[in-house]
Structure 1
């Protein structure tokens, strides 16, 4: 599992390695062992999701995955169906890759309705804004990096204007870097942002509004589109000034998403929706292990043995964040080593 989901080595290549080492084992056996092992981990990821939803601030995104081959029409070959992982990142440095067949708002509702309230940090995808409009207990914050990418699309046409806007954003990130270096949190962080970041934010949006009034810009110009995108999201982009626990961007979540597209380059797709769920389960634990400086191989070796003797009522002790102080000093070893 570690070789496939951490190092992106498909099972057929692992089978080749085993065969070259003189170990006779069918590929179907490898597949079944992986499936059964991940099923043992499902209750742990459910507990981890409960822990994530206990956060005051969530970061959320979506990334596509191909699953379940659909039959073709007539002589045309079938195609893989597009589905999505929706990773959710909590304020205790835990991430869970939830799975859905669609990219619609319904998955956000099914996941968060009646069980969570707080600040939701996302990119500019419209489904999140629609969800906020229907959820009075949700505050929607948006990512400055995604907004910045829209500005970059107009750099060739409006070099000077885009450069000025990017310099203001860079100055903002310099303030965030200073906060991080000092280790400030809570009220101290909010006060610093109010004194140093807010004037830059006000200057940035004043510049965007000024540019938006230019008579020489057409609606189809890339710079006008970027300005409209930015100004439409002004309120959401300013939430980080009001809440010190909100980051300026979703980069911390996107770093955890990266193994999914990297893995797809090797194992390409999932044959079934259950297989996609399994990818989400194991990736949730591996990514969270890395966030807490836990060796995924040591963690999985311990937990896959410990589940047979650990009380079911204490399953939450096996999520990586809680496992580390309880069991990391004396983990169970593989009997094969």
Structure 2
């Protein structure tokens, strides 16, 4: 073999080694990315949902323990620290039982004497009461059914033979046997307590009331159609705000006979101005769609203009094109990408992901201090305190991006923040905007828990029904109103209510009237018992 052949072979082998090294590098980056995705999916399915950043912990690295440097020990002990003060321990649970609960008194008197009188067992003389010890126990009676009989006497005139009778009262479900209280209980059990209809049927059967699942499903659909105008009124209230939170979540939907199941979407829009000291009542509006195309949020917000706080979903991009809607991004989404890497790295302190989380934590610390303050004050504080943090954070992200591989998970996490930087920092110049989109994520939490229990919706119509009920229950919760009391109050009245005055049944409008109606109903039940 000549020297030229050796040189050629050497060059060919060098090329193969270089290509192999490049392939290995790509494979290792792919493995790291897949490990991060696997850790994220495992946490979403099995892990805890908290993303709270913990302080540096003891970690085993290569068989060695990372121990924090102890502070120098001082022999001087302060007087306050030297005193052994006894701290009161708060017992978990209720310290005092609520006053509004009815009381049933049971008197435990001493054993009577031989003649039936209250005599001393030691000497036989009469006893007199010198005091008493009272203790209270919280008890529970399962919900009970009762039948309401509507009696309409027919009255006839003795002279002209005219017969008079009061018209039959309207029912929430036309010609149905379910009252407003039962319907409200079924809706709240399914959409607030996440109890599937078949389990409700089993509970009712234990009380001796046999109801089919299909019957409850019909009741849910008819109640949703009856309440749909009220949900639309809540939607109009949400869209009257100049800043709303938006998000969406998947939900499995059956496709009907002969069709495959599909993944529908529940979109949520939240109006909550309380963090900036706004006085408008908070509200949440749900909408259902059979897919996640961008045309759906465009339809929902076609006549609205303002600030939309949402994640970086590409389907929202067409909303921002004409400037009518301004984008505000979410630091929680940006932080979550770093958190997934931090968790994959066993939460080791000092890593790039940990450094990024600590810098973002400074933003949330400032936000916690100004939550509930007026918008102008929030803006001033952000200009003074948050702006420097954001400038330093962007510089760190740019330097980090230059250090890591372009396809590494860390580069993707940092690149997400830098590519959405304008929307992420918009909150610093407007006190109305939040640094995160947690209001929308909290509203979707009930959907996420519910789909783990009832697994799927029966049809697209069921998706629309779910959106209506989630809207009413979520809005009632935001206003501190018991959703079951509210739904019962509305179902008792909405059938005869004027359509052009539907706003009179909004949760924050009827809150005071509900209390009076609930008290009157409790008195009626007590008298009937």
Using the size of structure 1 for normalisation, the TM-score is: 0.91
Alpha-carbon distance, 1:318 to partner: 1.3
CA distance in 2, matches of 1:80, 1:200: 47
Task: Give the 5 Å matches for 1:96-111.
Answer: 96-111=285-300
**1:71 deviation in Å?**
6.3
Q: Does 2:495 align with 1:314?
A: no
Partner of 2:369: 178
2:379 — aligned with what? 190
Q: Hey, what does 2:155 align to over in structure 1?
A: none
RMSD: 2.0
Q: CA deviation at 1:87?
A: 0.5
How far off is 1:112 after superposition?
Answer: 0.9
3-state SS, counterpart of residue 66 of structure 1: strand
Matched residues in 1 for 2:508 and 2:252: separation? Answer: 31
Q: In the alignment, which of 80, 92, 97 is matched to residue 261 of structure 2?
A: 80
Aligned length: 325
What is aligned with 1:127?
315
**CA distance in 1 between partners of 2:495 and 2:353 (Å):** 59
Q: Does 1:208 align with 2:393?
A: no
Moved more, 162-171 or 233-242: 162-171
Mapping 1:221-236, distance limit 5 Å = 221-236=408-423
Deviations 1:104-132 (A, max 9, x none): 1101111112x111110001222223431
Contact 1:153 1:222 in 2 (8 A): no
Q: Secondary structure at the match of 2:511?
A: helix
Instruction: State the 1:28 CA deviation.
Output: 2.4
**CA separation in 2, counterparts of 1:329 and 1:152?**
45
Give, in whole Å, the separation in 2 of the partners of 1:128 and 1:221: 27
CA separation of 1:175 and 1:21: change in aligned 2, threshold 3 A = same
- The answer to whether the 8 Å contact 2:226/2:495 transfers is no
Kindly state the Cα deviation for residue 275 of structure 1 after the two structures are TM-superposed. Answer: 0.6
Q: Secondary structure at the match of 2:254?
A: strand
Q: Work out whether 1:331 is the aligned partner of 2:517.
A: yes
Query: Which of residues 147, 150, 155 in structure 1 aligns to 2:334?
Result: 147
Shift of 1:140: 0.2
Offset at 1:330? 2.1
Whether contact under 8 Å (1:298, 1:331) holds in the other structure is: no
What are the residue-to-residue correspondences of 1:35-54 with 2, within 5 Å? Answer: 35-54=221-240
The worse-fitting range, judged by mean Cα deviation, of 29-38 and 50-59 is 29-38
Cα distance in 1, alignment partners of residues 256 and 514 from structure 2: 44
- Report deviation, 1:137: 1.2
- Structure 1 segments (4+ residues) deviating >6 Å: none
Q: State the alpha-carbon separation in 2 of the partners of residues 277 and 47 from structure 1.
A: 15
Question: Contact 2:243–2:307 (CA<8 Å) still a contact in 1?
Answer: yes
- In the TM superposition, what is the alpha-carbon distance from 1:79 to its structure 2 partner? 3.0
CA distance in 2, matches of 1:154, 1:30: 45
**1:336 CA displacement:** 10
Q: Are 1:5 and 2:191 counterparts?
A: yes
Distance 1:334 1:193 in 2: 50
Distance 1:323 1:264 in 2: 31
1:123 aligned counterpart, secondary structure: coil
Q: Aligned residue for 1:288?
A: 475
Q: Larger relative contact order (C-alpha < 8 A, sep ≥ 6)?
A: 1
Specify the alignment match of 1:117 in structure 2.
Answer: 305
Higher helix fraction (1 or 2): 1
Structure 2 counterparts to residues 11-26 of structure 1, below 5 A: 11-26=197-212
In the alignment, what sits opposite 1:255? 442
1:87–1:95 Cα contact (<8 Å) kept: yes
- Note closer, same or farther for the CA distance 1:334–1:105 as it changes in structure 2 (3 Å cut): farther
Change (3 A) 1:70 1:3: closer
Please identify the structure whose Cα radius of gyration is greater: 2
Q: Does 1:269 align with 2:456?
A: yes
Deviates further, 26-35 or 5-14: 26-35
Alignment partner of 1:258: what SS? helix
Decide whether the 8 Å contact of 1:123 with 1:143 is kept in 2.
Answer: yes
* SS in structure 1 at match of 2:262: strand
Change in Cα spacing, 1:154 to 1:25, as seen in structure 2 (3 Å) is closer
Of stretches 289-298 and 21-30 in structure 1, the one that deviates more from structure 2 is: 21-30
In the alignment, the residues of structure 2 paired with residue 18 and residue 336 of structure 1 have an alpha-carbon distance, to the nearest angstrom, of 24
Give me the whole-angstrom Cα distance separating, in 2, the residues matched to 1:41 and 1:334.
Answer: 25
Q: Deviations over 1:11-49 (max 9, x none)?
A: 111111111111133332222222211211100000100
What SS does structure 2 have at the residue aligned with 1:62?
Answer: strand
Tell me if structure 2 keeps the 8 A contact 1:45–1:319.
no
C-alpha contact 1:301 1:334 (8 A) present in aligned 2? no
- Out of 234, 237, 254, the residue aligned to residue 68 of structure 1 is 254
Unaligned runs of 5+ in 2: 1-186, 273-280
- Secondary structure of the residue aligned to 1:84 is strand
Determine the C-alpha separation between the residues in 1 that align with 2:428 and 2:213: 53
State the distance in 1 between where 2:264 and 2:214 align: 25
